[in-house]
């Protein structure tokens, strides 16, 4: 049994690292897509194909436990409704308002990376999940690394509208609640099923809002006013967000979270800024001063501490 448990945790950690690698590029892809596409149009263009893709995979791979698509029981509908409303729908809206309210994107990014700090609280209250001293110490060390990594070398520390701080923590709370719903959803549903239904429900909120704020006319106008090369780059970014960020990474994260729990899984969100910094260094030539390397080391060390298991006394 210990061997099986260790192997499960090892696979879950790999799944989390891969999902964080994928999501660490998402911010770069979103930034390039938003140069051309309005926000809600980009979101709808991202999630409609992702839902269709998961439907296709679920139909083709019926017997594979990770990728099969089960029919939803009506008694479980409230769990999926809460999850779909919290993320992507509510999180994406609050994230947008956070960046708009705060003067510094660096501070906004730092605040939006604090989900590991709230995860133990939500997990303990809503799931009665055991939170160990290693979890707490590891999360605090890793989060300190995030602050060092994102704030080191930044020249803008003005807050702006203080409502932005509340919006950031509301966004993080929505993301953590979505994680709790992943854990509470019956194990009979595959990871693909959970992600499929939550994104489908999110579209039920996004599409009416899109019709009111932007609508199909916006897509038609893009064809007339935007340089075709820019449009193709934006569509390529949306394609990445659809296949990898919205489908692959979400399924891997859901699988891992159900194996090791909300607190330990969400701790890996701290490594996303580190991966993003490395991508910017490798492909965009952005410099990494010593302080940022220290921040990355703290993040990784904190993750190792967070995953450490407490010894259980035989008595």
Q: DSSP assignment of 186-245, as one string?
A: -TTS-HHHHHHHHHHHHHHHHHHHHHHHT-HHHHHHHHHHS-HHHHHHHHHHHHHIIIII
Residue 188 lies in a domain: yes
Residue 313 lies in a domain: no
Distance CA 98, CA 100 (A): 5
Cis peptide upstream of residue 88 (ω within 30 degrees of 0):
yes
Distance CA 203, CA 81 (A): 11
Residue-wise pLDDT for 224-249, tens only, equals 666 778 888 989 999 999 999 999 99
Q: Report the predicted TM-score, pTM, of the whole model to 2 decimal places.
A: 0.86
Residue-wise pLDDT for 101-139, tens only, equals 776 666 777 778 888 888 998 898 888 888 888 889 889
Residue-wise pLDDT for 201-217, tens only, equals 999 999 999 998 888 87
Domain around 90: 2-307
Distance CA 201, CA 85 (A): 7
- How many domains is the chain partitioned into structurally? 1
Residue 198 lies in a domain: yes
Q: What is the pLDDT of residue 158?
A: 55
Percent of the chain with pLDDT over 90: 35
Is residue 18 very low, low, confident or very high in pLDDT (cuts 50, 70, 90)?
very high
């Amino acid at each position: 049994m210990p061997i099986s448990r260790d192997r499960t945790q090892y696979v879950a950690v790999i799944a989390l690292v891969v999902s964080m690698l994928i999501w660490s590029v998402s911010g770069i892809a979103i930034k390039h897509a938003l140069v051309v596409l309005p926000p809600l149009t980009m979101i709808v263009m991202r999630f409609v194909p992702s839902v269709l893709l998961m439907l296709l995979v679920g139909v083709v791979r019926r017997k594979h436990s990770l990728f099969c698509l089960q029919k939803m029981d009506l008694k479980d509908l409230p769990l999926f409704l809460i999850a779909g409303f919290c993320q992507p729908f509510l999180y994406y809206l609050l994230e947008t308002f956070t960046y708009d309210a705060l003067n510094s994107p660096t501070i906004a990014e730092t605040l939006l990376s604090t989900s590991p700090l709230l995860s133990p609280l939500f997990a303990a209250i809503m799931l009665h999940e055991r939170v160990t001293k290693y979890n707490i110490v590891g999360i605090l060390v890793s989060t300190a690394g995030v602050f060092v990594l994102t704030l080191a070398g930044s020249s803008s520390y003005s807050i702006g509208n203080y409502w932005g701080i509340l919006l950031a923590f509301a966004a993080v709370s929505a993301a953590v609640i979505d994680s709790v719903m992943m854990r509470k959803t019956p194990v009979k549903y595959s990871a693909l099923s959970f992600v499929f239904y939550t994104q489908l429900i999110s579209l039920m909120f996004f599409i009416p809002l899109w019709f009111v704020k932007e609508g199909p006319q916006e897509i038609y106008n893009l064809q007339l006013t935007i340089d075709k090369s820019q449009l193709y780059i934006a569509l390529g970014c949306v394609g990445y967000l659809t296949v990898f960020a919205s489908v692959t990474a979400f399924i891997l994260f859901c699988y891992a979270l159900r194996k090791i729990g909300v607190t330990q899984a969400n701790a890996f969100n701290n490594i996303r800024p580190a991966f993003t910094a490395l991508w910017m260094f490798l492909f965009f030539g952005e410099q990494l001063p010593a302080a940022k390397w220290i921040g990355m080391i703290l993040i990784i060390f904190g993750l190792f501490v967070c995953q450490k298991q407490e010894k259980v006394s035989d008595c």
